[in-house]
Amino acid sequence: MLNAKKICKKAALVFFCFYINAPVSLAQNIPGVISVHDPVIIRQDSTYYIFCTGMGITVYSSRDMKNWQQQPPVFAKAPEWAVKAIPHFRGHIWAPDISYHNGLYYLFYAVSAFGKNTSAIGVATNKTLDIHSPAFTWEDHGQVIQSVPGRDMWNAIDPNIITDEKNVPWMVFGSFWNGIKIVKLDSTLLAVARPEQWYTVAARARNAVLPDSVAGDAAIEGPFVFKKDKYYYLFVSFDYCCRGEKSTYKMMVGRSENVYGPYVDRDGVPMNLGGGSLVLEGNKNWNGVGHNAVANFDGTDYLVFHGYDAQDNGKSKLRIEKLLWINGWPVVQQRLE
């Protein structure tokens, strides 16, 4: 994606994410004020946690999803495997995904070179998210997959984990190039299952004359799969992030009865052929909105994403909105203000 998470990732095209690690003013801990890119949310006991793009992975905690306190980053220094795998990588980690399986919290994350598909996805685990617990420690398990320019027409970034109806884990990921992929993981969630099963679940038309090593104009990224009733819903972001007031990011969706697709939009157009139904786009107050996650807490579904605040020079901020379902499709309860 060309998003600020990817401040660096997309550095060849844009330079905006310097906001990500800005100090948090406790006097301003209200919804939408903390500056984030690519947020994902989870709750442990009575505390909510946001993980997002940043040096070492930025983390916030809250008791009410309104007042947020910054926590120590996941990694105090750049993972050694990532430094070796990705040229010039120094610790700015993109688009984490947090989930709970088998008694552990699994944190998937992406590392990448500027504007290339020289990228990899890694994973770390922890028994707890409570930094005050004696059991709190992140164990990094290293690389899960890697994409290589000239070899792969896909990009190993933006991971999200979903388990199917048989409790089998899958990882959806990808950005630009030939689109969004999904692959089955083994029972440890630390490696791709064998034999490998890869599917393209969403894509947009790409200029065929561009070099394989260039992101190009097939602007799609930030996949997130959410199971609701009999359908799996694939959320993605179209168009461009990280351009401040010129950002055009918007969230799209399709659905499928199978986790590996095919996903189709409201009009029946397959997402791997460019389809996608609009969930939310920017307006005069929020230039672009995207890279979302979906979570259910106490019977209510929430759409969690970042938006570029038109009243604050396009600064990227956290947004959390209630999500309704009308005729089998997600609808944001309150439109952007």
pLDDT digits (tens, 9 = 90+) for 263-288: 999 999 999 999 999 999 888 888 88
What number of CA atoms fall less than 13 Å from residue 25's CA on the CB side?
5
CATH code for the structural domain at 4-24+34-332: 2.115.10.20
Q: 114: buried, middle or exposed (CB in 10 Å: 19+, 13-18, 0-12)?
A: middle
pLDDT of residue 17: 35
- Which tens digit of pLDDT belongs to each residue from 37-49? 999 999 999 999 9
pLDDT for 247 equals 61
Which helix (H) or strand (E) element contains residue 171?
strand 169-173
Q: Over range 175-188, report the average pLDDT.
A: 94
The catalytically annotated residue of 38, 152, 239, 309 is 38
Marked catalytic residue, from 158, 221, 265, 281:
221
The residue ranges of every structural domain in the chain are 4-24+34-332
- Quote the tokens at residue 88: 């010039």
The yes-or-no answer on residue 281 being catalytic is no
Nearest alpha carbon to residue 219 among 206, 235, 210:
206
Mean pLDDT of 4-16: 35
Q: Which of 97, 102, 121 is nearest to 49 (CA)?
A: 97
208 by DSSP, 3-state: which?
Answer: coil
Residue 239 annotated in active site? no
In angstroms, the Cα distances linking 275 to 10, 167, 271, 278 are 24, 28, 4, 10
DSSP-assigned letter for residue 214: S
What one-character-per-residue DSSP string does 43-54 give? EETTEEEEEESE
